[in-house]
Structure 1
């Protein structure tokens, strides 16, 4: 039987137009920072808490722009689909992986599309949207 997960994720973009990808410990796919809500949390509250736990960044609600929702296959869990609330924020600075994160990667969206180790949400929705928005 298929499981459904609700998550909130953020598209962090730096001054060079690169997106931050993260890989959780014990997994092979890169994805955006974010995670599952705690009881009673809104998608915005979830993403603010998760960014703080995973990257040590404190965003105010005004700094995050809601970017829509996506439903599709989960990256690291078979027979699971995700319902993602997506946000975008700007960050320029040095980050260290915290909590369950093992690896961080700043990469241009066009370069990221060449990788084989991306979560479906990134490959099918987030990166194509970013690339389309960056075209003149």
Structure 2
């Protein structure tokens, strides 16, 4: 199964919500991020992608590494995604849909059942987000 390497962000706000995005021509929501360009580190990739997709510019020091996660790719059948994930917080008013994004949503745990989510988000990244955004996890 071919691998697609990406950097992904688990972005939360002060209300404990987590940001998910949907790209044009797709139905599943996922964490923002994307594929590296030549010579980029995982953090550099994420900083560039968040700027292109959401209009926010972060410093590398604002990203907390969460690890590497592997899952079935949401939009490329027969592929798997290998994601270097990072956590950060952003003011919801600072983000806007740009580039290849069609939509963004700030979600809570209660929204998961009614939202089509990428396997990486559902199986790995959102469970981490819920622990981090719970009152005990803060």
Q: TM-score range by the shorter chain?
A: over 0.9
Which residue pairs with 2:102 in the alignment? 102
Number of corresponding residues: 134
Q: CA RMSD in A?
A: 1.3
- TM-score scaled to structure 1, two decimals? 0.93
Which residue pairs with 1:113 in the alignment? 112
Q: Distance in 2 between matches of 1:82 and 1:70?
A: 8
Structure 1 runs (4+) deviating above 6 angstroms are none
Q: Distance in 2 between matches of 1:92 and 1:80?
A: 33
- TM-score scaled to structure 2, two decimals? 0.92
Q: Distance in 2 between matches of 1:57 and 1:116?
A: 25
C-alpha distance after superposition, 1:37-56 (max 9, x if no partner): 00111100000000000001
Q: Which runs of 5+ in 2 are unaligned?
A: none
Which residue pairs with 1:18 in the alignment? 17
Shift of residue 129, structure 1, vs aligned partner: 2.0
Secondary structure at the aligned position of 1:6 is classed as strand
